[in-house]
Each structure stands twice: as C-alpha cells, then as structure tokens.
C-alpha cells in the first residue's frame, strides 16, 4: 500500500468517525447531517467533482457523461438499459439529471404483505418518515400545488406550483379532465421563486441533462457544499473496492482505488450510499474468509429483490405544434391509478407523468417503439414538434430472481462487472398493460393520435432490503446491517417494494433518518 | 411526393450568440469536419457512413462524414455507457465486427462490396440484418442493427442543421423559454409554413387531422 505525502486527503492516515460511500442523492444528505453534527466524515465518490458553470452544457449527447460509464452486464427476459436514465456519476449522482419529481410514497406502500398479500412489509411506516419528508420539502425546497389529491399528504407544498405550464403538460391536464380523472401539478424540487442564491426556473427544459441556472435542486449544489463547509472531506475519483471487516464482525474501514493505486481508510462506521447496483456489488466484492458470501449477507439476500419501475412511453401526434422541448420536462401528473383497483385485475398500479422531450429522447423512443429507420424514421423526425409524450412509473413487485451478482468480466477499474438480471412478473405486465392503456385514453381524449409505445424502465431499487427478520432482510429499520453493527446502508438498495412514485425524496428521507440514528448512537457511545 | 421541413429558413445557429459560451463552443465544434478516424479503419469508416446514410435517409456526405467521425472519436475515447447485454461484446467491437460481416454479406448476396450496392440493395441487406435473416457467427445481427441505428440516431439528431430541420429551437441558457402554453412561441422559435404543413398532411404526415 503506497501512501505518498502529496495525496490531497488530510484524513487518510487517521481513523475517522464515518465513511460515506457515494456522493449522490442520499450520500449528500447523510454527509451534511453527520458533518454538521461534528463527526469526522469522509465522503467517497467514484466520479468527478462537477462544477456547473464549467462542466454543464445544453446538450443531450454531451451530458451523458453524468451517467455511470463502467461496464455493467444485463440479462433476464427484460434486460434493462442502464445508461443515463438510471444511473449517476460524479458528485450529485442521479440528482444531477433527475427530473426532480418528488412525490412521497403512499402510506399503503409500506404494508404490501399485510394489505395485499404480496411482497413484504417495510419495517418502517409512512408516519415514521413524515418528519423527514416535511424537512426535505422545506430543505430542497419543493414547489407543488396547494392541494394534492393523492397519498398521505394533500399539501400545501412550501413553494407555489410552477406556472405557466407548457403545451405538452396541458395535454395531460386536458385529457384527464375530459375523462374525469384527477390530475395535478407534480411536486418538484425545482424553484418557482428565488431561494437563497438560487433563481426560479427559466423553463429551459434540460433538467435531465443538468440544470445550469441552479433552479433545480441537486446534492452537488445543496447538501454537499453544506457538508464540505461543515468539515466533511470529499474524495472524488475514488472507487471503493472493498469494505474491510474484522474478526469481531465490526467493519474497520474501506479500501479504494485512486489512479490505479489502492489505499485504505479506517473508520468507526461505514455508510454505503452507492445505489441499488453498486451497494450490493460492493458488499459481494468484500467477501473474505469469514464471509465468503460477501458482507452483510448471512441471509443470502444481498443483491436479491432488485427492482426497477416500468417506464413505458406513450407518444401521440397532435393537430397543432406541441413544441415538446419547452419547459420543465415533467410538470403535470396523475397518481389516480396508484393502488389496487376494485376489479382485482392487478395488484398495485402506476403514476402517469406528462413528459416533454428533446430530440434524442424522442427519436430513441420512436426507434425503440417500432424499429423504423430510413425514410420512415426521418419523416417522423420532421414532425417532432407535433408529438406529446406520457411516461409511466409502474410498480414492479419484488422478486428474488431479479438480482445483482458479480460477473466474470472486469470493468475499467479491474473489478468484477456487476450482472443485472431482470424479468417482469405477470402482475408487473398487468400494471404495464393498464398503464399504457390509460396513457392512450388520456392522449386521445386530449385530441391526439397515439403512434408509439416504447418500453423503458427507470429508478433502480432494492438489492439490500430492510426488515425486522435477519433471515429475510439485509438491514434493519435504521439501515444497519443485521450482521455488522457499524455498517449501514442508506440508499434505494434498502427499498422493500418499489411503489409507483419517483423514489428520490423517500430515499433521502430514509437516509436522513439513518443519519439521525447514527448521531444518537455516537452520542450514547454505542459506535 | 417529397415533402421536407415545415420550417424552411430556420437556422438554430443564428441564435447561438444567445447561448452560454461552453454550449456554443461545443455545438460549433460539431460543425467542423472530422479528423482522421482513430477507432475505425478508413474502409470501416466509409462503410459506416454509407450505412448511416441509409438508416437516417441522408444523402449529404459532408454531414455523414461528420456524424461518422464523431462516432469514431466517441468510441476511441471510450465514452460510451458501459452497459450491455451479457454475452455481447462492448459497443465498439460489436459495431466493427458487424460492419465486417455486413460487407461479407454484400459480396455473398450481390457479388459486390457494400459501397457499390444501389440504395435499394443496401436497404434490402440492412432489412435482412435487422430481421436476423443473415447467418452471422459470434454476434446476433439484430443486436448490431439496434446498436448502430441507436448510435446513429444519437449523433445525427445532435447536429444543429437537423435541429433546424425538425424545428428544435435548441439550447436556451441563459435566456430560457417563457411562452410555453399551447399556441404560444417565444420570438426566436421556428415559425412553421402553413403551405408546407398542408403538403405534409396531404402526404399523410405532419400535424394530426382534427377529429372534432
């Protein structure tokens, strides 16, 4: 192990209180909370430390650099695309390019087994997370409607709903109105009025590429600067390759790769916030003689119950110019079909978002839907401005056979590339069928002619699920490993079920709750 | 009947002085002719250009050269998202291998290299590849077809003259968009030509016919 003196890290040769792995949506929250509590914290990030004004541009193609680029393999009946739509790279992680849609999970999401006889119950309830959602809605802050018709929170949101809304968003509103379906402004972590030194949104439309005016929240511009100010040491370009575990089952720190060299960092607590692919992968890569199945894996469930949302796109041609590039990509939503319908045709449901599109997103969806090329494809492109798109966020039930495992191929770091195996179950397909049908009805009611249905997925979840029983879960209700008292997971990997809401604010709420627990355990001398 | 853009005369680059400097430089660089290929060999890049011309229905060889050159440097710099289906080679290898097999198929089927096929013959062969009606060792033809078309779409529809053609008003920082609702446009957005709209409708294209 080489430790030259010109390395940029002050805390390398000390034992710190906490190492957080992953500077994305949840790592940022945990770092700020633990840093401002006075703990000595190191925040590890595989990617670069982006600077918005230097690194961000208004271009779909170029901004794919904010997606995870190292090799990942996919398998199963429905092998997902794992690119820009799903992953993040660099400080800010997925919040750099998420659409900033931040509804809470519904109360029913936490009790699927009890209420529906499927999946499993979470070891936390909706009420447990309410104070954290509330705090985050003020912290980010969230702009949304005065009255929100679904779930456990009916508003009002701290910041007013965005106004005006673009033509592509009006289409959802009008279609729903004509069908008697309620629709509403989506709660967004995008400013409708100034907040500190951040201006309101300029409707530029490039949320999924990275916000330039900083009207959209990301941990890059919000939590992580606050963490650094509180003394957290951020290390970028550092790929953690192993969590180190002692003979007493306590973790002792990590090893990580920086410019091809391996280094070690000792810590009293390790918190993994590396995503539903990288978190289980890291635990599996950390196998040792005492834990040949990987760390935190006495249950054998690390990497199991991996989930995505179905994210089918339904695209319709309209009699007028929709100009789908303008405005915040997702501004209007309906969560009317979130839960199990009375007719028993499916368990659980979906949300539908109006979804603007820039040319690459649009043309890729068109090609995926019908595999047209040549003249047919080019003519659709020339009609780009007449099309509007709705996107599904469909619940996918947890299945033990959807997994993250280690493949025999190596990634750019020389580490075993993760293999993501994913297949939809019967109920998942029923949710998709109903969701696509409803999207079509809404678009047609608004005067559109549906031409393309493109399969897609979004949001990686699960793989280290939480639970009360160490036999059937990886971590407890605080995100603490059942097997290692000072190893925590605080990202979407611990999701027990997928819900049908964009998961970011719920993942951040859980992470903040874990950070509070860690603070209290330190205070009591238990860590 | 050939019906082109409904936005004749719209040039998104006219607006580029209103874009932030980094975006402007990036898009201006995209308009420059490519340097020598680094990932593909000269015959491979010529083949790639010809294939892209058919997949994207484009005849302008200068434009196709730029698109192929930008794909080449993207692969050379290993910038692609690293995910791929288990059992498939990484994107660059898949494309290179597929181009060679395509060339072999052209000779087998038409006794001529791909570049000497007529457009119709090229389309016939590409259709066979898409449908998996060719006998390829090592890589599934359909996967090659999806990948090369997908990458072609990404780079072709990132060209500013194509943005102008389809009426994408382009980058908008720091200016933003403020006239968002149905029927409204900011002053710099493209104005569609009603006669061309009508011509597209007559050809079964363009805006949907109103049902009401």
- Ranges of each domain in chain B: 32-158
Please answer yes or no on whether B81 and A67 come within 8 Å at the CB atom: yes
Within 82-111 of B, beta carbons closer than 8 Å to A belong to: 82-86, 90
Among B28, B180, B205, most A C-beta atoms within 10 A, so best to mutate, is B180
pLDDT at position A7 is 87
Does the pLDDT at position B181 exceed 80? yes
Instruction: Please tell me the predicted confidence (pLDDT) of residue A1.
Output: 43
pLDDT in tens, B149-178: 999 999 999 999 999 999 999 999 999 999
Band of pLDDT at residue A84, cut at 50, 70 and 90: confident
Please indicate whether, in this complex, the C-beta atoms of A71 and B83 are within 8 angstroms of each other: yes
Mean pLDDT, chain A, rounded, equals: 97
Answer for the pair A295, A482: CB distance below 8 angstroms, yes or no.
Answer: no
Please report residues of B whose CB lies closer than 8 A to that of A373.
Answer: 54-56, 126, 130, 149
User: Is B39 touching A (CB cutoff 8 A)?
Assistant: no
**A382 neighbourhood in chain B, CB within 8 Å:** 4-6, 165-166, 200, 205
Does B16 lie at the interface with A, CB-CB under 8 angstroms? no
A5 pLDDT above the threshold of 80: no
Nearest Cα to Cα of residue A9 among A254, A281, A294: A254
Provide the CA A350 distance to its chain's centre, in angstroms: 17
| Complex ipTM | 0.97
Give contacts of B174 with chain A, Cβ < 8 Å.
202, 212-213
Tell me whether residues A205 and B177 touch, CB distance under 8 A: yes
A16-523: CATH number: 3.50.50.60
Q: Collapsing DSSP states into helix, strand and coil, what is residue B23?
A: helix
A410 CB within 8 Å of a chain B CB: no
Q: Which of A190, A214, A320, A326 to mutate: most B Cβ within 10 Å?
A: A326
pLDDT (average), residues A256-276: 97
CB contact under 8 A, A167 and B169: no
Mean pLDDT of A288-299: 97
Q: What percent of chain A has pLDDT over 70?
A: 99
Q: Which of A382, A444, A454 to mutate to test the interface with B (most CBs of B within 10 A)?
A: A382
Of the candidates A58, A374, A411, which has its C-beta nearest B82's C-beta? A411
Interface touch B206/A205, C-beta < 8 Å:
no
Which residue is closest to A367 within chain B, CA to CA? B150
Q: Round to whole Å and give the CA distance between B136 and A13.
A: 55
Mean pLDDT of B63-74: 97
B2 pLDDT higher than 90: no
Instruction: Using a cut of 0.90, tell me whether the model's pTM lies above it.
Output: yes
Q: Give the closest of B5, B6, B174 to A213, CB-based.
A: B174
Residue A419 at interface with chain B, using a CB cutoff of 8 Å:
yes
CA-based nearest residue to A330, from A169, A113, A119: A169
Which residues have a Cβ under 8 Å from the Cβ of A68 and sit 6 or more positions away?
A82, A87, A88, A89, B81, B82
Residue A261 pLDDT > 90: yes
Q: What is the pLDDT of residue A2?
A: 44
- Tell me the CA distances in angstroms from B121 to A195, A513, B118, B128, one per residue in order: 60, 63, 5, 11
Please report the DSSP string for B69-116 in residue order: HHHHHHHHTT-S--EEETTSPPHHHHHHHHHHHHHHHHHHHHSS-GGG
């Amino acid at each position: 192990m080489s430790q030259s003196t010109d390395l940029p890290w002050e805390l390398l040769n000390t034992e710190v209180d906490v190492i957080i792995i992953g500077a994305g949506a949840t790592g940022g929250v945990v770092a700020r909370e633990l840093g401002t509590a006075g703990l000595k914290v190191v925040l590890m990030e595989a990617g670069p430390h982006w600077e918005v004004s230097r690194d961000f541009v208004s271009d779909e193609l170029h901004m794919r650099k904010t997606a995870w680029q190292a090799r990942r393999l996919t398998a199963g009946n429905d092998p997902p695309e794992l690119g820009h739509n799903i992953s993040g790279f660099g400080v800010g992680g997925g919040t750099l390019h998420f659409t900033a849609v931040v509804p809470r999970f519904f109360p029913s999401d936490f009790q699927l087994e009890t209420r529906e006889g499927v999946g499993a119950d979470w070891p936390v309830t909706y009420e447990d997370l309410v104070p954290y959602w509330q705090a985050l809605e003020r912290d980010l802050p969230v702009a949304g409607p005065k009255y929100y018709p679904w779930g456990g929170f009916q508003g009002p949101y701290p910041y007013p709903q965005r106004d005006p809304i673009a033509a592509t968003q009006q289409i959802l509103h009008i279609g729903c109105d004509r069908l008697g379906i309620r629709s509403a402004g989506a709660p967004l972590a995008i400013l409708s009025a100034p907040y500190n030194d951040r201006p309101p949104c300029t409707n530029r439309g490039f949320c999924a590429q990275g916000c330039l005016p900083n009207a959209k929240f990301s941990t890059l511009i919000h939590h992580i600067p606050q963490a650094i100010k509180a003394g957290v040491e951020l290390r970028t370009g550092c790929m953690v390759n192993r969590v180190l575990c002692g003979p007493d089952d306590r973790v002792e720190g990590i090893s990580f790769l920086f410019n091809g060299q391996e280094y070690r960092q000792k810590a009293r607590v390790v918190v993994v916030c590396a995503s539903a692919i990288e978190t289980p992968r890291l635990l599996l890569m950390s196998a040792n003689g005492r834990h040949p199945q990987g760390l935190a894996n006495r249950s054998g469930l690390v990497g199991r119950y991996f989930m995505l949302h179905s994210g089918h796109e339904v695209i319709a041609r309209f009699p007028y110019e929709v100009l789908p590039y303008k405005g915040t990509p997702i501004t209007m939503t309906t969560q009317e079909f979130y839960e199990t319908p009375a007719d028993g045709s499916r368990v659980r449901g979906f949300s539908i978002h109006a979804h603007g599109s820039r040319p690459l997103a649009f043309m890729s969806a068109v090609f995926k839907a019908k595999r047209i090329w040549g003249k047919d494809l080019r003519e659709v492109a020339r009609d780009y401005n007449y099309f509007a798109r709705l996107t599904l966020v469909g619940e996918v039930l947890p299945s033990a056979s959807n997994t993250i495992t280690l493949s025999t191929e190596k990634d750019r770091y020389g580490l075993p590339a993760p293999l993501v195996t994913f297949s939809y179950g019967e109920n998942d397909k029923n949710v998709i069928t109903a969701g696509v049908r409803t999207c079509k009805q809404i678009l047609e009611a608004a005067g559109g002619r549906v031409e393309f249905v493109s399969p897609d997925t979004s949001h990686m979840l699960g793989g280290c699920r939480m639970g009360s029983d160490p036999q059937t879960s990886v971590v407890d209700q605080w995100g603490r490993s059942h097997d290692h008292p000072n190893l925590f997971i605080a990202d979407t990997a611990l999701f027990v079920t997928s819900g049908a809401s964009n998961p970011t604010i719920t993942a951040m709420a859980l992470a903040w709750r874990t950070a509070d627990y860690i603070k209290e355990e330190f205070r009591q001398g238990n860590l | 009947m050939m019906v082109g853009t409904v936005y004749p005369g719209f040039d998104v680059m006219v607006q580029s002085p209103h874009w932030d400097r980094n975006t402007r430089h990036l898009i201006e660089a995209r308009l420059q002719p490519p340097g020598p290929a680094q990932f593909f060999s000269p015959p491979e890049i010529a083949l790639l250009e010809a294939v892209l011309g058919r997949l994207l229905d484009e005849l302008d060889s200068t434009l196709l050269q730029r698109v192929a050159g930008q794909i080449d440097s993207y692969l050379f710099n290993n910038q692609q998202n690293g995910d791929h289906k288990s059992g498939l080679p990484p994107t660059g290898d898949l494309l290179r291998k597929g181009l060679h097999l395509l060339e072999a198929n052209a000779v087998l089927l038409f006794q001529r290299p791909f570049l000497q096929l007529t457009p119709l013959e090229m389309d016939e062969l590409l259709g066979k590849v898409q449908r998996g009606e060719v006998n390829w060792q090592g890589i599934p033809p359909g996967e090659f077809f999806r990948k090369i078309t997908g990458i072609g779409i990404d780079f072709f529809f990132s060209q500013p003259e194509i943005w102008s053609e389809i009426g994408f008003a382009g980058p908008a920082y720091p200016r933003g968009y403020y006239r968002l609702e149905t029927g409204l446009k900011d002053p710099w957005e493209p104005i569609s030509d009603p006669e061309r709209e009508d011509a597209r409708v007559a050809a079964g294209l363009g805006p949907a016919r109103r049902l009401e």
